[in-house]
Structure 1
Amino acid sequence: MDVQEFVKALDAEGRSLAAAAERAGPDAEVATCPGWQVRDLVRHTGMVHRWARAFVTEGHTAYLRDGGLPELDGAELLAWFRDGHRRLVDSLASAPLDVECWSFLPAPSPLAFWARRQAHETTVHRVDAQSALDGTPDAVAPDFAVDGIDELLRGFHGRTRSKVRAQAPCVLRVRATDADAVWTLRLSPEPPVSERGPARGARQDEDPDVDCEVSGPAARLYLALWNRLPFPTVTGDSSLVALWRETSAVTWS
């Protein structure tokens, strides 16, 4: 996916998030984020949008602290969120491809990083907002979900700060059943090592080197890996799924 595709996704997902938050109301519980109400979700995502935009528009080449959460609520909070989202979309869409600024995951360019990261950030939180409503959240496109799995496994959990560690070496495999993509995570007391390959090859029950495999449609795996849904299918050592749940959270700092 290219920058403009990510910006288009960010645009649609942010508008859907705001619409769901408006329908649910600020007091509604966010089912996928225990302990959060809709106002918490909107404040957090709006803060992240403004934080991300500052790097691209102001050219910061080192880490910059966020501006904190607003005390706004209700209609004022939603207006603040929509304004920040719109500014982020417009800034990413109009930024020069060679803009130089800080980023924190591998990407073809800083602009590509921020467009991708904010598209996925907003998609996951759109699902959160819709979880505060009755019914099933809108679907995530398979190709977008595959990219998001790749960002999470090879990006976030390719860093030394990942807490997904196992006492003894073992292998967790993630297989998308509707896309030509399989990820192999080698876990140990050290940071995880992830590789992506085509979907062909032995399943967990046919491969003695794989301790556990999670499989299913890419969109379900995407949300499961972000700890928003249960994994569709688990074969092998299910304790690795519990390990993932306990240690994989990406937290704001």
Structure 2
Amino acid sequence: MGTAELLGALDREGRLLAEAAEAAGTDARVPPCPGWRVRDLLRHTGVVHRWATAFVADAHVSPRPMGDPPDLDGTDLLAWYRAGHRRLVDTLTAAPDDVRCWTFHRAPGASPLAFWVRRQAHETAVHRFDAEAARGGEATAVDAGFAVDGIDELLRGFHARSRSKVRTPEPRVLRVRATAEDGPGGDTGGATLAVWTIRLSQDPPVTVLDASEDADAELAGAAGRLYLALWNRVPVPAVTGDASLAALWRNTSAIV
């Protein structure tokens, strides 16, 4: 996806998150995040938004720690979250294309600005789902193109880093297949949108965007649902082959 599309998604997802959080109330439990209440979700996401904003706004070229969340709750906490989200969107919108600042898993050829727009769009979308889960009712659908972009960022960005814990004692191959939502039940069986091959070993996973070799297992599903599944928000729609690799992903892929 282009940066402009991702910026629009960041704006929309952040507003939807606030609306769902307000409807749920800050004391509501967040089912995908055991131990969290909506206030924890707002504090976490608000801190991340301000942390990201500072890199771009102040052109920081080295890592900096996140700040502490405020001791706010209720309507004051919601207002604080909304203000931080608005400043993030406005900062990224106004930033020059050639801004120089720190990033942590930038795709080859991507600018620091493109990195931060992409990262915050997906950060916010996943937590928007969390807020809607706390509210109850039907969650907003994840656009297929946005979902494919987010799966790619997760697999070839986050899990290419040395911090990834998705490892196996012996070499294994895991495939991930995102499909359109026109299969039976809207989950699987639709046209393939993207395929990733993940080589697992004792080292960080190595992922390529193709179906270049036989796989020991495949995780597949409609792109929007698969996106949420790979972030461990919902079950994987379909698993074929060695189910232990699906369990490995579920148990070791959490991003801290």
Does the TM-score normalized on the shorter chain lie above 0.5? yes
Q: 1:41 is aligned with what amino acid?
A: L
Task: Please give the TM-score of this superposition, normalised by the length of structure 2.
Answer: 0.93
Deviations 1:95-121 (A, max 9, x none): 000000000112310000000000000
Equivalence map 1:13-92=2 (5 Å): 13-92=13-92
| Counterpart position of 2:138 | 136
Following superposition, the deviation at residue 224 of structure 1 comes to 0.4
| Counterpart position of 2:186 | none
**Rounded Cα–Cα distance in structure 1 between residues aligned with 2:134 and 2:166:** 29
User: Is it true that 1:193 corresponds to 2:206 in the alignment?
Assistant: yes
Deviations 1:4-27 (A, max 9, x none): 211110000000000000000011
Moved over 2 A (4+): none
Number of aligned pairs? 243
**Rounded Cα–Cα distance in structure 2 between residues aligned with 1:195 and 1:2:** 20
Equivalence map 1:1-253=2 (5 Å): 1-107=1-107, 108-178=110-180, 179-197=192-210, 209-251=214-256
**Rounded Cα–Cα distance in structure 1 between residues aligned with 2:78 and 2:25:** 10
Task: Please give the TM-score of this superposition, normalised by the length of structure 1.
Answer: 0.94
**Rounded Cα–Cα distance in structure 2 between residues aligned with 1:136 and 1:232:** 18
Deviations 1:197-227 (A, max 9, x none): 27xx8xxxxx8x3111011101111000000
| Partner secondary structure for residue 191 of structure 1 | coil
Structure 1's unaligned 5+ residue stretches are 202-206
Identity across matched positions, percent: 63
**Rounded Cα–Cα distance in structure 2 between residues aligned with 1:219 and 1:106:** 23
Q: 1:56 is aligned with what amino acid?
A: V
Deviations 1:180-213 (A, max 9, x none): 2101111111111101127xx8xxxxx8x31110
| Partner secondary structure for residue 114 of structure 2 | helix
**Rounded Cα–Cα distance in structure 1 between residues aligned with 2:231 and 2:143:** 16
| Counterpart position of 2:189 | none
**Rounded Cα–Cα distance in structure 2 between residues aligned with 1:238 and 1:71:** 44
**Rounded Cα–Cα distance in structure 1 between residues aligned with 2:165 and 2:172:** 15
Following superposition, the deviation at residue 160 of structure 1 comes to 1.6
**Rounded Cα–Cα distance in structure 1 between residues aligned with 2:138 and 2:241:** 29
**Rounded Cα–Cα distance in structure 1 between residues aligned with 2:136 and 2:62:** 42
**Rounded Cα–Cα distance in structure 2 between residues aligned with 1:36 and 1:180:** 34
RMSD, aligned α-carbons: 1.2
Structure 2's unaligned 5+ residue stretches are 181-191
**Rounded Cα–Cα distance in structure 1 between residues aligned with 2:236 and 2:8:** 28
**Rounded Cα–Cα distance in structure 2 between residues aligned with 1:222 and 1:237:** 20
